[in-house]
Amino acid sequence: MGTLVGPVLSAFTTSKDRPLFPSPTASLPSSKPHLTTSRKIHHHEINTSRFGNFLHLKPESKPGCLDSDLPWFNPSDRPCFDVIIIGTGPGGLQLAEQVSQYGIKVCCVDPSPLSFWPNNYGVWVDEFESLGLVECLDKIWPMTCVYIDDHKTKYLDRPYGRVSRKILKTKLLENCVSNSVKFHKAKVWQVKHEEFESTIQCDDGSELKASLIVDASGFNSSFVEYDKPRNYGYQIAHGILAEVDSHPFDLDKMVLMDWRDSHLGNEPYFRVNNSKLATFLYAMPFDSNLIFLEETSPVSRPVLSYSEIKRRMEARLRHLGIRVRRVIEDEKCLIPMGGPLPRIPQNVMAIGGISRVVHPSTGYMVAQTMALAPLVAEAIAECLGSTRMIRGKPLYHKVWNGLWPIERRLSREFCCFGMETLLKLDLVGTRNFFEAFFDLDPYYWHGFLSSRLSLHELASFSLSLFGHASNSSRLDIMSKCPVPLVRMLGNLALQVI
């Protein structure tokens, strides 16, 4: 198996030879997305939306599979590996690629290892540049903007990119294949542990053994244990990649957040709710007729209802004069934010969503996981690499502390405080907060959003944010956040002990 390139690159098509993601996923950064399908769609055939109401439109594409082959685990082979990774999302595949570089025997288990990733991932371009992954972006916007309200807009000189799921997954799979990673198509039911070895039991009846099991099966996994109540906040969003008649956004600016609420002028019920628990629009304009739109609740506890998000989005699109002709893809986003880390250490290692690498204040995770996987791989290699054979408890201790060393745990505590603060703010408070946030020295706001600030820098960042905040914002933070502040200080103290 060395020739994965051709089959994989041509694989994002359905069995009917129709491009699965007919537009931007197929293009490189500079190329313009196109909406051609194998059959021309005549205007009278298009099931267009009533003005602004896109909710009755069915998404035309469902994530399909790569039409390719992988080096599969053969049941007649010895079912023993150094590392088994459960899940081939971005987290699992990146770790598989990194660990296998050390000559460590890896098997990835997933019910559908060749499936397309379903989510639409956005990242800051500098994050992917520093990872050497910029060619995995299929669209780059040179600037981003934040609509604070109807009168104030911030233009941010920080390019933003959309990840090509096809290119990134292809690249990771190719590297895994050339590093002799095996794949097994099954769902893992159970993990059992002995002193130096663990066994996974799969839904096809197979049992595979390894010195280390890594759970990369996403936020909902049950293989990783927690010893504290999981008091998550939730980011919830509804997104569509849509063909529209037109939209009002500049093509060279990605809309990071649109906090305007004038669309709710004739919707008193939603306006009141939105003023307490606000949602914003996140938009990636690809061309004048193609756009990704996502109405997003940044964080709520309990979670805001999904139907309310969709109704607010409907009102917003109507107000912006966006008539949706076709929904090409849709996504329901529900990301648990903040909350405790898993018990550290434990005999199942974790990466990706279940390892709580997700940024507690933003819900972003992809770039951070890509950056941390090499560190986890290095820790694994120090134990299971060619010269050493450290297994059992010392291995678990080493790898968990490779992912979550004390400094990173402390910084995360700080970002959890950021989430708790956001949870307390109403629309006015949220607008004031982001106005002050994006006024900061870019070193701080870039660093905060990309989890790059040390604990010391996070403290300076907070002071600077407080200094930039309006008086009402300062009052808001002081009156609404003493409990989260005390909790954060308590947690910081516990981590240090």
Ligand X SMILES: Cc1cc2nc3c(=O)[nH]c(=O)nc-3n(C[C@H](O)[C@H](O)[C@H](O)COP(=O)(O)OP(=O)(O)OC[C@H]3O[C@@H](n4cnc5c(N)ncnc54)[C@H](O)[C@@H]3O)c2cc1C
List binders of ligand X among 95-154 (CB under 6 A).
109-111, 117, 119, 121-123
Length of the chain: 497
The HSE-up count of residue 97 (CA atoms within 13 Å, CB side) is 21
Question: What is the smallest separation between the CB atom of 480 and ligand X, expressed in angstroms?
Answer: 27
Element (H, E) at 295: strand 290-300
Question: What is the smallest separation between the CB atom of 240 and ligand X, expressed in angstroms?
Answer: 12
Choosing from 22, 33, 79, 91, the residue that interacts with ligand X (CB under 6 A) is 91
Residue 313 lies near ligand X (rule: CB under 6 A) = no
Cβ-based nearer residue to ligand X, 200 or 427 = 200
Question: What is the smallest separation between the CB atom of 208 and ligand X, expressed in angstroms?
Answer: 11
Element (H, E) at 457: helix 455-468
Q: Which stretch binds ligand X (CB under 6 A): 15-23, 251-259, 302-310, 364-372?
A: 364-372
The HSE-up count of residue 176 (CA atoms within 13 Å, CB side) is 27
Cβ-based nearer residue to ligand X, 249 or 292 = 292
Q: Which stretch binds ligand X (CB under 6 A): 48-56, 147-155, 249-257, 358-366?
A: 358-366
Choosing from 345, 353, 402, 418, the residue that interacts with ligand X (CB under 6 A) is 353
Choosing from 352, 360, 402, 418, the residue that interacts with ligand X (CB under 6 A) is 352
Name residue 142's amino acid. Answer: P
Measuring CA to CA, how many Å separate 146 from each of 153, 254, 375, 438, 439? 6, 9, 34, 9, 12
Among 224, 218, 213, which residue's Cα sits nearest to residue 99?
213
Distance CA 135, CA 193 (A): 40
Q: Which stretch binds ligand X (CB under 6 A): 37-45, 83-91, 404-412, 457-465?
A: 83-91
Contacts of 53 (CB under 8 A, 6+ apart): 314, 318
Question: What is the smallest separation between the CB atom of 194 and ligand X, expressed in angstroms?
Answer: 21
Distance CA 446, CA 444 (A): 6
Cβ-based nearer residue to ligand X, 117 or 306 = 117
Question: What is the smallest separation between the CB atom of 309 and ligand X, expressed in angstroms?
Answer: 12
Cβ-based nearer residue to ligand X, 152 or 230 = 230
Q: Which stretch binds ligand X (CB under 6 A): 80-88, 152-160, 243-251, 341-349?
A: 80-88
Question: What binding mask, one character per residue, do residues 181-220 give for ligand X by CB under 6 A, x or -?
Answer: ------xx---------------------------xxx--
What tokens appear for 497 in the block?
Answer: 């002990």
Helix (H/G/I), strand (E/B), else coil: 67: coil
Please state the φ and ψ torsions of residue 349, each to the nearest 5 degrees.
-85, 160
Choosing from 90, 233, 360, 429, the residue that interacts with ligand X (CB under 6 A) is 90
Distance CA 167, CA 26 (A): 9
What tokens appear for 176 in the block?
Answer: 């895994």
Question: What is the smallest separation between the CB atom of 318 and ligand X, expressed in angstroms?
Answer: 24
Residue 254 lies near ligand X (rule: CB under 6 A) = no
Cβ-based nearer residue to ligand X, 89 or 484 = 89
160 close to 46: Cβ distance less than 8 angstroms? no
Cβ-based nearer residue to ligand X, 97 or 261 = 97
Q: How many residues bind ligand X (CB under 6 A)?
A: 31
Question: What is the smallest separation between the CB atom of 110 and ligand X, expressed in angstroms?
Answer: 4
Name residue 259's amino acid. Answer: W
Cβ-based nearer residue to ligand X, 26 or 365 = 365
Cβ-based nearer residue to ligand X, 14 or 119 = 119
Cβ-based nearer residue to ligand X, 152 or 332 = 332
Strand duo 143-147 + 153-156: pairing: antiparallel
313 close to 281: Cβ distance less than 8 angstroms? yes
Question: What binding mask, one character per residue, do residues 318-347 give for ligand X by CB under 6 A, x or -?
Answer: -------------x-x-x------------
Question: What is the smallest separation between the CB atom of 239 and ligand X, expressed in angstroms?
Answer: 7
Residue 94 sits at the vertex; the CA angle it makes with 91 and 98, to the nearest 5 degrees, is: 135
Among 208, 190, 171, which residue's Cα sits nearest to residue 72?
208
DSSP percent split of the chain into helix, strand, coil, nearest 5: 35, 25, 40
Question: What is the smallest separation between the CB atom of 324 and ligand X, expressed in angstroms?
Answer: 19
Among 221, 261, 171, which residue's Cα sits nearest to residue 349?
221
Residue 88 lies near ligand X (rule: CB under 6 A) = yes
Choosing from 92, 345, 360, 418, the residue that interacts with ligand X (CB under 6 A) is 92
The Cβ of residue 367 has, within 10 Å, a number of other Cβ atoms equal to 25
Contacts of 123 (CB under 8 A, 6+ apart): 137, 160, 161, 163, 364, 366, 367
What tokens appear for 259 in the block?
Answer: 């906090």
Q: Which stretch binds ligand X (CB under 6 A): 22-30, 140-148, 265-273, 350-358?
A: 350-358
Cβ-based nearer residue to ligand X, 140 or 428 = 140
* Residues lying near ligand X in the complex (CB under 6 A): 86-92, 109-111, 117, 119, 121-123, 187-188, 216-218, 331, 333, 335, 352-353, 358, 363-367
